[in-house]
Structure 1
Amino acid sequence: MVTIVEEARGVPMTSGCVVPRGDVLELLDDVRDAIPAELDDAQDVLDHRDELVGKAQHDADQALSKARSDAERMVAEAQHEAERMLSEARARAERMVADAEDQAQRTVSAGRQEYEDLVGRAHAEADRMVQAGRANYERAIEEGRAEQARLVDGTEVVQAAHAEAARVLDAAQTEAIRLRSECDAYVDGKLADFEDLLAHTLRSVGKGRSHLRGPAVASAAAPFDYHE
């Protein structure tokens, strides 16, 4: 078509031109045939836009209504399920409380029975211990009395031992006095003998000194006897 327009004969004094009608119509038919079918469909869509928008709005309203109905139904079902679960939980809790109370009652009964048994055994053990303590007390009393009697007998022995010790001490003192007297007599005798010997020695010394002071002749003629 561009070639036809460029080669067309111009109209004097204007910018227009004269083109062959048949050629142009043929080219337009070719162009129409070359246009894709999607453009026709798009045109149809544009032509039916209001109808499509209305239908879409109607479908959206229906979907929204259905969604709202489904939501309300689901909420109702959830509430019903929650109420059912709450009822079951309440029933389970009441059953558990009843079981716990029953178990507690049984435990209390068992504990009371065990307490009574323990108290009974404790009383019996206390009585046995009291009896044993009384027997031990009586045995200790008897042993104490026997020990007291033994100690009394032992006291007599101690008194006899003290008497014997006093007698031995008196005898020892008497013997000591006797020995001291004998020792004094012996020493006195020895001192007397020594006194006699000393007196004799002094006399001999006196005679010797007198002899030494005498004449030398007498000394030479008769030597002094120191053993007189």
Structure 2
Amino acid sequence: MRVFEILEEIIEAVEDAKGVPMSSSAIVNRPALLDLLDDLRDAFPAAVEDAREILEQRDEIISSARAEADRLEESCNNEAHRLVTEARDGAERTTREADEYADRTVSKANSDADRIVAGAQAEATAISQTARAKADGIVQTARDEHQRLVSDHEVHRSAVAAAEDVRVDAERQAAKLRSDADRYVEDSLSQLSLTLQKLMHTVEGGRDQVHTRRSGYRDVYDQDGRR
């Protein structure tokens, strides 16, 4: 700026002036110093105008910066609200899908359990009936044989003994068949019980995972709400 240049020239002129002996005064070039002062006086209005323009520009810059800052803040708030809304919608959708999946899993598990139980019971009943029928048939055959041998007078004694042996053996085989049938039914029901326990454990584990994710989503909602 011209004002500062003139001031520098005046300062240099004063500093370079010859000093008066035995005094703090100095001899300066009066015409040159007056010319510099005239230049300084002429330069002041332009400098003031420049300063005024700079101040106006500064105010405009500050106002524009504030408006831009407000616009950016509003845009950030809108974007943050949009992101939070999308996150909440996604979390609700994920929770709803997880609940539906858990309900389908539980329903399928219940259907499978009912089907397995019904199948096992039907198979156990059929095996038990077959075993009992076979045992009854053996017993009846033994009884018929016993009666036939008993009625034969020629071999009465041996027939009685043989018939008794046949009867005892038949009853033993029948008892064994009944025991085997009952044990098979018991083993089948025990295995079915273990299968159902594992299935219910899996279902409960799925429910716990769903509840854990749901708690996590609720924490996110709470944190977003606090923000």
Report if TM-score (shorter chain) is over 0.5.
no
TM-score by length of 1: 0.39
TM-score by length of 2: 0.39
